[in-house]
Structure 1
């Protein structure tokens, strides 16, 4: 929600959200589940990508970049959970509020751009293999990651230069990014430019490029590749597009709609937007599945770990059975059953 800090008036939609205990608990539970899955899945992914995957191809470097943003979100989510459970009352100061908000949005948009980069890399490898060989250098991947971070941070610059906390005396709470000062940007058109750059530059354009790349890869593999390779490409495309449509699309569409109707019609969709922001965090739980289908080395190392665990557990169980067998034989030998007279 946007308000003029000199003439403050809380709209009914935002008030109902801030006063809704059930909504606060529901969002917190989702964040708790996401935090656990995020830290476990991405912690394992980071270990595999950094220490068990070699060589460090551009795709692997992009995946490491994506995992870093996901882990940053996993670390930030407990602060958001505490904020929600305290009734949308922020107690950690303005700087921490800005950091947490920035982590949320950099995770979303860096994830989108990184998935686009992985899609382009796969497209070049399948459709333009000669060009792909020339670009398989780590320097290209590092430059690409730096460009992504630079683009995202430049678009989100207003979030870094504004106090995102807001004191609401009537509710006795201090919000963090739930009520924004309208003077954060100078004019209504500046607000529109800010939101349009987020939605169109950081979401819609990467979504179109990613879709084109995966459709082209599937079509190319359908001509000559084995059925198994085509199936893996289809699964990867489905997972990536699922992340876009379920995690990113609702949030960005609602953000654009909410800002437009708030600026020009004085209406609000903030409750729906807040829920969509919550579900956008689910992308960090689905990213390890992208690594599994996108990186052969990652897939092989994960299978090796699972196989070794299964193998060690089966060996342990065999040892236990053997010990129990020896133990029972020992008892039977020392205490034989007496035959009836």
Structure 2
């Protein structure tokens, strides 16, 4: 959603994007599917994590934080769907535009930082177990870590909270929301470079490197361990998390950097590709419950208990129906 920088007139590529009905429909359908899966899967995950999972380990606290951001995205996406289906016309005002844009990007970068925190927690628990167990204030550290993540993300995204992100395109008679940014949103090109650097390098590349290091170290450690079940789960978790980074987050942030450089210094655009990659960045909110399944033994046990209860209740109901049929006959 980081849009084209504009002062007066838009380029033809940007105008063609706003007039491309097929692209708008594709993006809307993807958002609809993501919204449905997001709210169901993360609603169940939140219920399990808060009410059914004990004790509240640091990993569980991080997962609750991740689920919260995912559900916030799920509630914000319907507004984006309506915006797309109206032909990129925003009619809810500038404040609502800024708020929902902030929710959108906060979800992405809080998810990245939380995955990094989970990887660090697993790294300390497996690579340095003695030091890890001696830390008595682990829960407090996890809570402080979550608050720090939110503070860091909101600090980097602060310009989104203080700027009118709507832009009127008189030729098309539409008002866009964060698809076209005014050049005077930030005072200079240097300020734009710092803003983009913070989003791409501080909130994506650095967490990605830390997460990769932690999981590779865990895999190497467990490869020498006789606990094959633990090793397989750790390897699956590492592969899954790295796939989420690669598929959901990497294209979006790389294209954000490419588009920003092209727009700031060469007056060119890669916005069409960036807009499509943004859809796939939302898919992470549907995949996070699978991370919980691999990362938390408690979460797996509670989910399996629920599935067993449901299967048992289904079997009991079938037995009752069979008895009723025998009685009636």
SS at match of 2:55: coil
Shift of 1:160: 0.6
Per the alignment, residue 284 of structure 1 pairs with 285
Q: For 1:117-147, what per-residue CA distance to the aligned partner results, in whole angstroms no more than 9, with x for missing partners?
A: 0000000000000121133521101110011
State whether structure 2 residue 273 is matched by structure 1 residue 301: no
**Structure-1 separation of matches of 2:134 and 2:181:** 47
**Structure-2 separation of matches of 1:186 and 1:18:** 27
**Structure-1 separation of matches of 2:274 and 2:213:** 28
Tell me if the contact between 2:248 and 2:281 (Cα under 8 Å) persists in the aligned partners. yes
The unaligned stretches of length 5 or more in structure 2 are: none
CA-based RMSD: 0.9
Per the alignment, residue 332 of structure 1 pairs with none
Runs of 4+ aligned structure 1 residues displaced above 4 Å come to none
Tell me if the contact between 1:3 and 1:9 (Cα under 8 Å) persists in the aligned partners. no
Taking structure 2 as the reference length, what is the TM-score of the superposition? 0.98
Tell me if the contact between 1:54 and 1:297 (Cα under 8 Å) persists in the aligned partners. yes
Per the alignment, residue 338 of structure 1 pairs with none
Per the alignment, residue 173 of structure 1 pairs with 174
Tell me if the contact between 1:166 and 1:176 (Cα under 8 Å) persists in the aligned partners. yes
Per the alignment, residue 269 of structure 1 pairs with 270
Taking structure 1 as the reference length, what is the TM-score of the superposition? 0.94
Shift of 1:96: 0.5
Shift of 1:310: 0.4
State whether structure 2 residue 13 is matched by structure 1 residue 13: yes
Q: For 1:70-120, what per-residue CA distance to the aligned partner results, in whole angstroms no more than 9, with x for missing partners?
A: 000000000000000000000100010001100111000000000000000
Q: What does 1:310-329 align with in structure 2 at a 5 Å threshold?
A: 310-328=311-329
Tell me if the contact between 1:2 and 1:182 (Cα under 8 Å) persists in the aligned partners. no
SS at match of 2:187: coil
Per the alignment, residue 4 of structure 2 pairs with 2
Per the alignment, residue 25 of structure 2 pairs with 25
The unaligned stretches of length 5 or more in structure 1 are: 329-341
SS at match of 2:167: strand
Q: What does 1:200-239 align with in structure 2 at a 5 Å threshold?
A: 200-239=201-240
Per the alignment, residue 183 of structure 2 pairs with 182
Per the alignment, residue 243 of structure 1 pairs with 244
Shift of 1:4: 4.0
**Structure-2 separation of matches of 1:225 and 1:83:** 54
Shift of 1:2: 3.4
The 1:177–1:162 alpha-carbon spacing in structure 2 relative to 1, beyond 3 Å, is: same
SS at match of 1:224: coil
State whether structure 2 residue 199 is matched by structure 1 residue 191: no
**Structure-2 separation of matches of 1:185 and 1:160:** 12
Tell me if the contact between 1:258 and 1:269 (Cα under 8 Å) persists in the aligned partners. yes
